[in-house]
Amino acid sequence: MNIALFLKALGLAFILEGIPYFLFAERMPAVLRQLLDKPPATLRKIGTAAMVMGLLLVYLSSKAL
């Protein structure tokens, strides 16, 4: 495993996760409150969809390069 590539990917993930908090700081508490009201099954579906989309992006980008 290439540790440098892993650290770059992890850094990019942190950047992408931080963008909504930076751009929409006033709105994020309301969004997080809405997530608190969601049942665990819904949160799992959201998480699964995000992981599948991420895997698809990684796969497609690796095929394109």
Q: What is the pLDDT of residues 43-64, one digit of tens each?
A: 999 999 999 999 998 899 888 7
Closest CA relative to residue 4, chosen from 51, 61, 12, 15: 12
Angle between helices 28-37 and 3-23 (to 10 degrees): 100
Q: What is the pLDDT of residues 1-55, one digit of tens each?
A: 789 989 999 999 999 999 999 999 999 999 999 999 999 999 999 999 999 999 9
**What is the rounded distance in angstroms from the CA atom of residue 15 to the CA atom of residue 43?**
22
Residue with the two structure tokens 């931080």 = 18
pTM of the model: 0.72
